[in-house]
Structure 1
Amino acid sequence: MHLLASQIAAATGGTLHGPDVQVDSAGIDSRSVRPGELFVPIVAARDGHDFIAGAVAAGAAAYLTDRAPDPAVPATAVQVPDTFTALADLGREARRRLPDRVVGVTGSVGKTSTKDLLAGVLETTYRTAASEKSFNNELGLPLTLLGAPDDTEAVVLEMGARGVGHIALLCDIASPTVGVLTRVEGVHLEMFGTLDDVARAKGELVESLPADGLAILNADHPVVAAMDARTRAKVIAYGLAAGADVRAENVVLDDQLRARFDLITPWGTAAVALAARGEHQVPNALAAAAAGGGLGVPVEAIADGLRAARLSGLRMEMDTTAAGVTVINDAYNANPTSMGAALGSLARLAARRRFAVLGTMAELGEDAPAAHRGIADQARDLGISVIAVAEPSYGEGVVHVADVDGAVAALGELTEGDAVLVKGSRVAALERVAQALA
Structure 2
Amino acid sequence: MLPMRASEIAAAVGGTLHGDDVSVTGSVETDSRLVTAGGAFFAMPGEETDGHRFIDAAVAAGAALVVAERPVEQDVPHVLVPAGVEALGSLAAEVIRRVRAAGELTVVGVTGSNGKTTTKNMLQAILEQHGPTVTPVKSFNNEVGAPMTMLRIDASTRYLVLEMGASVEGDIERLTAMSHPDVGVVLKVGLAHAGEFGGIETTARAKTEMVRDLDEAGIAVLNRDDERVRGMAAATRARVVWYGTDAGPADEPTRLWADGIDSTLEGTVATIHRAADGAARSWPLRMRILGEHHVMNALAALTVADALGLPLEPAVEALATMERAERGRMELLEPGGGITVINDAYNASPDSTAAALRALAHMTRQAGRRSIAVLGEMAELGPHAVEEHDRLGRQAVRLRIDRLVVVGTGAKAIHDAAELESSFGQETSFVETAAEAEALLRSELVAGDVVLFKSSNVSGLQALAERIGGL
TM-score (norm 2): 0.89
Q: How many residues align?
A: 436
Spell out the pairing of 1:127-166 with structure 2 (5 A cutoff).
Answer: 127-166=132-171
Give the partner amino acid of 1:331: A
22-31 or 279-288, larger mean C-alpha shift: 22-31
Q: Is the 8 A contact 2:415 2:429 kept in 1?
A: no
Change over 3 Å in CA distance of 1:259–1:98 after alignment to 2? farther
Cα-to-partner distance string for 1:173-204 (whole Å, 9 max, x where unaligned): 11111100001112212111121111111000
Give the whole-Å Cα distance in 2 for the aligned partners of 1:325 and 1:33: 42
Q: Name the stretch that deviates more: 405-414 or 318-327.
A: 405-414
- CA distance in structure 1 between the partners assigned to 2:454 and 2:99 by the alignment: 38
Secondary structure at 1:185 match in 2: coil
Which string of whole-angstrom CA distances, capped at 9 and with x for unpartnered residues, describes residues 240-283 of structure 1? 02212211132233442333433436374332222322111000
CA distance in 1, matches of 2:50, 2:384: 36
1:85: which partner in 2? Answer: 86
Looking at structure 2, the residues matched to 340 and 156 of structure 1 have their Cα atoms a distance apart, in angstroms, of 27
Structure 1 match to 2:392? 375
Instruction: Read off the aligned partner of 2:436 and give its amino acid letter.
Output: G
1:20 — aligned with what?
22
Kindly tell me: are residues 35 and 379 of structure 1, through their superposed partners in 2, closer, same or farther at Cα, counting changes over 3 Å?
Answer: farther
1:232-381 matched pairs, under 5 angstroms: 232-243=237-248, 244-264=254-274, 266=276, 268-309=281-322, 310-347=324-361, 348-349=363-364, 350-381=367-398
Unaligned runs of 5+ in 2: 249-253, 420-427
Distance 1:265 1:49 in 2: 56
Q: Which residue of 1 aligns with 2:432?
A: 402
What amino acid does structure 2 have at the position aligned with 1:15? T
Give the corresponding residue for 1:57: 60
Larger mean CA deviation between 174-183 and 43-52 belongs to 43-52
The residue matched to 2:259 in structure 1 has which SS? Answer: strand
Could you say if the C-alpha distance between residues 123 and 266 of structure 1 is closer, same or farther in structure 2, counting changes exceeding 3 Å?
A: farther
Residue 145 of structure 2 aligns with an amino acid whose one-letter code is G
The residue number in structure 2 matching 1:76 is 77
Supply the AA of the counterpart residue of 2:68: T
Q: SS where residue 141 of structure 2 aligns?
A: coil
1:23/1:62 contact within 8 Å kept? no
Unaligned runs of 5+ in 1: none
Paired residue secondary structure (1:262): strand
SS of the counterpart of 2:289?
strand
* Equivalence for 2:206: 201
Moved over 3 A (4+): none
In structure 2, relative to structure 1, the CA distance for the partners of 1:34 and 1:429 (3 Å cut) is farther
Structure-2 separation of matches of 1:174 and 1:317: 31
Counterpart selection for 1:426 from 448, 453, 457: 457
Calculate the aligned-residue CA RMSD, in Å: 1.7
Match of 2:217 in 1: 212
1:413 Cα offset (Å): 3.3
Q: TM-score, normalised on structure 1?
A: 0.95
Alignment-mate amino acid for residue 114 of structure 1: T
2:50: which partner in 1?
A: 47
Q: 1:275–1:307: 8 Å Cα contact kept in structure 2? A: yes
Alignment partners' CA distance in 1, 2:407 and 2:263:
30
- Residue identity over aligned pairs, in percent, reads 41
| AA of the residue aligned to 1:393 | A
In the alignment, does 2:6 pair up with 1:3?
Answer: no
